[in-house]
Amino acid sequence: MRSGPTWFNVTSLVLGFTFLYLPIVILVIFSFNESRLVTVWGGFSTKWYVELFKNKQLLDAAWVTLKVAFLSASIATVLGTMAALVLVRSGRFAGRSLFSGMIFAPLVMPEVILGLSLLLLFVAMDQARGFWTVMIAHTTFAMCYVAVVVQSRLVGFDKSIEEAAEDLGCPPVRSFFLITLPIIFPGVLAGWMLAFTLSLDDLVIASFTTGPGATTLPMKIYSQVRLGVTPEINAICTILVVLVTFGVIAASLASKRQEVLRAQDERAAFGPN
Amino acid sequence: MSQQKPQAPKRSLGSKALIAVPFLWLVIFFLAPFFIVFKISLSEVAVAIPPYLPTFDLAEGWAGFVEAFSVFSIENYIWLTEDDLYWKSYLSSAKIALISTFITLLVGYPIAYGMARSPKEWRPTLLMLVILPFWTSFLIRVYAWIGILKNEGLLNQLLLALGVIDEPLVIMNTNLAVYIGIVYSYLPFLVLPLYASLEKLDMSLLEAAEDLGCPPWKAFWKITLPLSIPGVVAGCFLVFIPAVGEFVIPDLLGGSNTLMIGKTLWVEFFSNRDWPVSSAVAVILLLILVVPIVLFQNHQQKLAEMQS
């Protein structure tokens, strides 16, 4: 077997990644277009970014979206981590298959169904719709993603360290915060990030569950996109893409660094010296 | 709740709470809503707030409850069979999802294969590159294609300039644009599980085949492809299931004759304000999707058992 990349593999990777990235690159380039026609280059300009910061409605929507994303991601991370602990640690209990079904089903459930069903719940509860209902809706589907991400982290976890602490008299809650949480932290952080971006991104569920005064950024973008492609939307999309890209890369570098440090600690603790 | 009664008698209060909190959250905000959708799908549309009848009034007690039940009818479901818009939407969604899944597989397989055969030190970076678009907004990625596919868009400009075509291709607002959108958006879902199964493949099998004089394409066909089937199946489910209920892609890239059930439901709900009919559409969609979802769960379980 030949080792190393063959021309076929390199070509398929180059073509594949071009397909994945070219549309986004084009979108970013045309956000700096002088001309209002998005597909004809009229020279470099940052005027659409300036325009953005004058658009009060858009800024309001962005602020609502960030608040919803931050809150729902944080609650979803707590609930999702609990759910992951239940899935991995709690063994058998009545309703376990229902529990794991409820964790996995939202991952593949069409958003229109999730959105519609939550809206009808809020209506049945006679709950005024707005910020809080969107927040609850996002928490509900995001916690399932967090649970799956944290679960994969917990599966590879050496339980004996935790058991040792508990044998030495450490109460379970304390051993969770001192031992388990630091070890699964990269997973928890990744879960939070995923929940945050899912909420930032969601159009369908937010459209169903929102009410007056709580228009989110994707809803705003969507209503403008329906009217046509404008460089202003390109600009706001570019900002979002750049933010998310940096966030994801920073988080992955941070968790890698933590991994290395932890490996060093473990070697120091258990090593032959 | 009786469901939470632990079988193991020594379960502590803390671990009960650990189960109860996420469990109750999901029962209230995920499970209960489905029963409400089902209930409303049996109701009648009305000019009221909320726009359906009957509504439960707890003050009327049991009698009110019974009365409400007597008004329930399967009229909305009959309506779904009478108007061909609905069954055509279901069929067309399944068809579009199936075709897109197949194209995604054709596009994704070489990428996953190339990644799995790349030098070890490249792989984390390549993996990151596949995952990164998944983090960027879905809406943005779909929007990015509008500027490319439009009649006066970049693709047509390029092809006209190169002299490949004489007049602009009409891609935007057709099913073709929807296929492109779905393939583009869901590609990472297919590549990731496929890469995982290709990477685990025992290379010594291929070396043995080569030593015995098997040409590479035959070795691929006889060894690599069969062994990657679990990844192919998982990836295809992950593309197919959400694609059936897709709304954003057919709405932004498809045309007025692109029928997809997610879009039909959206229009029924937001434009026609017919909540009972859109609930009935959702119930049927759910029933249709239960089949692939259960198949997918079984597949994943089998995989997990095989690994352990």
Residues 20-79 of B with CB under 8 A from A: 21-23, 25-27, 29-34, 36-37, 40, 50, 56
pLDDT over threshold 90, residue B131: no
Kindly determine whether residue A120 and residue B207, on different chains, have CB atoms separated by under 8 Å.
Answer: no
pTM (predicted TM-score): 0.86
Binning pLDDT at 50, 70 and 90, where does residue B6 land? Answer: very low
Kindly report the average pLDDT of chain A as a whole number. Answer: 86
Query: How far is it, in rounded angstroms, from Cα B89 to Cα A118?
Result: 23
| Mean pLDDT along residues B88-95 | 92
Using a CB–CB cutoff of 8 Å, tell me whether B137 touches chain A: yes
- Are A108 and B238 in contact (CB < 8 Å)? yes
- pLDDT of A251 > 50? The answer is yes
**Angstrom distances, CA of residue A170 to CA of A88, A180, B15:** 21, 13, 16
What is the C-alpha separation between B260 and B88, in angstroms, rounded? Answer: 8
Name which of A13, A229, A240 is nearest B118 (Cβ-Cβ). Answer: A13
- Residue from A30, A38, A39, A97 to probe the interface with B (highest B Cβ count within 10 Å): A39
Per-residue model confidence as pLDDT tens digits over A53-63: 888 888 899 99
- State the residue for tokens 């609502």: A64
What is the Cα–Cα distance from A50 to A236, expressed in whole angstroms? 11
**In angstroms, how far is the first alpha carbon of chain A from the final one?**
41
**Residue type present at position B66:** V
Tell me which of A37-41, A139-143, A239-243, B111-115 is least confident: A37-41
A144-173 mean pLDDT: 84
Say yes or no to pLDDT of A37 above 80.
no
A179-227 pLDDT, tens per residue?
A: 888 888 888 988 999 899 899 989 999 999 998 888 999 999 998 888 8
Mean pLDDT of B66-74: 66
ipTM for the complex shown: 0.86
In Å, what is the CA distance from A73 to each residue of A61, A66, A134, A143, A146?
Answer: 18, 10, 12, 8, 9
Is the model's pLDDT at B183 over the cut of 80?
A: yes
In terms of phi and psi (left: phi > 0; alpha: psi -120 to 50; beta: otherwise), the region of A60 is alpha
Chain A: residue whose CA lies nearest to B121: A4
Q: Among partner residues B108, B115, B145, which is closest to A13 by beta-carbon distance?
A: B115
Residue B188 tokens read as: 């990472």
How far is Cα A28 from Cα A13, in angstroms, rounded to an integer?
22
